Amino acid sequence: MLLTAVGGLALFLLGIHQIAEALQQLAGPAARRLMAAATRSPFHALFTGTVVAAATQSGTATVVTGLGLVGGGLVGIPAGIALLLGAKLGATLAIQLAAFSLGDYAWAMIGVGYFVSLWSRTRAPGTLLLGAGLLFLGLDVTVDSMTGLASGELFSLLIDSAESSPVTVLLLGMALGAVLSSSNGVTAVGLGLYLADAISLPTVIALTAGGNAGSALLPLLISRTFDTNTQRTALMQLLVTTVGAVATVLLLGPAAEGIEAIGGGEAREVANVHTLFNLGVALVGTALAPLLARFSGQLVPTADDDAAPKYLRREALDDAHLAAALALRETVRMSDQVAVMMELAVRNLDTGRWDPEPIRARETKLDRLTHDVVDYLARLRHSHGDDEASQRLLLVATELEHMGDQIRRLGRREEKLRTEGLEFSKVGRAELTQTGERLLRRMRAAFTALATGDAAMAQRVLDGRRDFEALVARMRVAHLGRLEEQLPESRASSSHHLEVLTLLRDVDASVTRVAGWAVEMERAAEAEPTT
């Protein structure tokens, strides 16, 4: 019976995975764009995370995307906390779906879904139907096996012991949640036991709360590959969920009475436990997100070497080729900082909500990295003589620093606009955003070419310079046309508008130069004789 229960749980989780896979095919790209654009405040981020996770049924994917946004500087810690809590809330939809108890139709759904998925045009809907069938079948198998287990004396003894100790159930749920990395999986176990009349509703609540706390460990583990802010975000999400679980166990009686008052049948009661727990934790955590963000700084202090070079090794200076390769990797790391700064600038151009701090922080890192790379290359040239490769890297590094300065100037221009109580016209801001997005695409291509040695990609950036100049010229003409029409907003913000266009053009000139040096470096590498 135990192995059958495990098998049923596996079918249930596989069903959720299939549903998530299908929904991500249908809504994944749009969902990711939504997450990147709709996280202006913690409660907005909470709503976004909930909707995306519910629409894709992949809380893990939503969490990973959210952590990436925090790591990239596109989302602050408060919004990041809310985003992760929203992802857990949205993922509870799978259990709500399971509560419909459509096990009698499971085999039909599996069969129809499988054959429908064989056609490419209907693959995603077929996979969705197949996943739903596996979910209901897995739940039925789990419930049936739990009923059999509950009749055993040893199992009954263990259950009775657990029933008398909610804290033990909580800890068990946390352990299961950590192992399965799925609060839905733990809730499914609780659902099976509850429907088999093996455990009481308070025990289900404790088990579900523990499962949610245990599964919150996964984002923290994932965050270890990101920066300090990402780790702080994941830690606060774990802390809030764990505190919520403990508080729930302390209030088991009132919680159980509330769930019974809502009603809806046993399966729906368990689903409501799961959803309402995450809803309560999400609302409280989001309200406290700014305070939690400040507290996280004390628990996870900024590393002293957060802006220090990662690849420069003084012992490698004896080998000119190795040292140059390390300097290139560090220069690519500099380009990553510039790209994030530009992403933030474009986002701010689009929304009109300028937050100078994230860009200022990255420029500080960029300045330090520039100093370290230039110093490293100077030592290399002193030891091995001047060469074209190190010369080009010096040019690239200083050009990247210049880009950072220009992007900061974009921010200062927006700040000055606000200080004067002015605003770009709606059409004008849209045009500036369009130009910025075009520049960002060219920047990413140039930096990718630099990192990968793709001369063809770099050449396309060079070839596109004239088209970008033409775009800027069209935007100038369009703005001047609005001035002739005597539009008040356009007249008031005219000097700022033209200055932003000039800055975007100047940044693109730097992008073009980097692309040119990337071409030269790759051609020089190809011409270099092999040993």
Query: Could you give the domains of the chain?
Result: 2-299 (no CATH), 314-527 (1.20.58.220)
pLDDT of the residue at 516: 92
Structure tokens at 505: 């053009």
Structure tokens at 288: 């406290």
Better-scored residue on pLDDT, 505 or 482: 505
Better-scored residue on pLDDT, 338 or 55: 338
pLDDT of the residue at 305: 46
pLDDT of the residue at 531: 38
Highest mean pLDDT among 188-197, 450-459, 487-496, 511-520: 511-520
pLDDT of the residue at 45: 87
The answer to whether the pTM exceeds 0.75 is no
Distance CA(254)–CA(90), nearest Å, equals 25
In this structure, how many other beta carbons lie within 10 angstroms of the beta carbon of residue 142? 27
Q: How confident is the model at residue 24 (pLDDT cuts 50, 70, 90)?
A: low
Better-scored residue on pLDDT, 264 or 278: 278
In this structure, how many other beta carbons lie within 10 angstroms of the beta carbon of residue 332? 17
Q: How confident is the model at residue 420 (pLDDT cuts 50, 70, 90)?
A: low
Q: Which of 103-117, 435-449, 511-525 has the lowest mean pLDDT?
A: 103-117
Q: How confident is the model at residue 274 (pLDDT cuts 50, 70, 90)?
A: very high
Distance CA(489)–CA(428), nearest Å, equals 9
Better-scored residue on pLDDT, 222 or 45: 45
Q: How confident is the model at residue 304 (pLDDT cuts 50, 70, 90)?
A: very low
155-176 tens-digit pLDDT: 566 666 667 788 989 999 999 8
**Has residue 15 got a pLDDT over 80?**
no
Q: Which of 20-29, 312-321, 369-378, 458-467 has the lowest mean pLDDT?
A: 20-29
Q: Which of 103-112, 148-157, 367-376 has the lowest mean pLDDT?
A: 148-157
Q: What is the DSSP string of 267-328?
A: HHHHHHHHHHHHHHHHHHHHHTHHHHHHHHHHHSPPPTTTTS-SS--GGGGGSHHHHHHHHH
- What percentage of residues in the chain have a pLDDT greater than 70? 79
Amino acid at 460: R
Mean predicted confidence (pLDDT) in 358-386: 84
Smallest CA-to-CA distance from 338 within 357, 366, 372 is with 366
Mean predicted confidence (pLDDT) in 247-265: 91
192-247 tens-digit pLDDT: 888 878 888 999 999 999 999 999 998 888 777 667 888 899 999 999 999 999 99
C-alpha distances out from residue 259 to 172, 211, 250, 270, Å: 22, 18, 16, 9
Q: How confident is the model at residue 26 (pLDDT cuts 50, 70, 90)?
A: low
Structure tokens at 264: 């809806």
> Within 453-493, where are the H helices?
455-463, 465-484, 488-492
Residue count of the chain: 531
**Has residue 288 got a pLDDT over 90?**
yes
Mean predicted confidence (pLDDT) in 126-149: 73
pLDDT of the residue at 465: 93
pLDDT of the residue at 39: 57
Given its phi and psi angles, is residue 41 left (phi above 0), alpha (psi -120 to 50 degrees) or beta?
A: beta
Nearby residues of 338 by Cβ (< 8 Å), 6 or more positions away: 366, 400, 403, 404, 407, 443, 447
pLDDT of the residue at 34: 60
Distance CA(31)–CA(422), nearest Å, equals 33
Mean pLDDT of the chain: 81
In this structure, how many other beta carbons lie within 10 angstroms of the beta carbon of residue 298? 8
Highest mean pLDDT among 63-72, 135-144, 182-191: 182-191
Better-scored residue on pLDDT, 209 or 456: 209
pLDDT of the residue at 322: 79
Smallest CA-to-CA distance from 234 within 166, 158, 285, 303 is with 285
Structure tokens at 161: 């012991």
113-122 tens-digit pLDDT: 888 777 756 5
Amino acid at 264: G
pLDDT of the residue at 201: 92
pLDDT of the residue at 402: 92
Better-scored residue on pLDDT, 104 or 285: 285
C-alpha distances out from residue 333 to 43, 210, 366, 400, Å: 33, 40, 9, 11
Backbone φ, ψ for residue 186 (5° rounding): -65, -40
Smallest CA-to-CA distance from 128 within 153, 99, 97, 165 is with 97
Nearby residues of 470 by Cβ (< 8 Å), 6 or more positions away: none
pLDDT of the residue at 141: 75
Q: Which of 12-21, 171-180, 184-193, 403-412 has the lowest mean pLDDT?
A: 12-21
C-alpha distances out from residue 386 to 325, 518, 520, Å: 16, 19, 16
Mean predicted confidence (pLDDT) in 102-108: 72
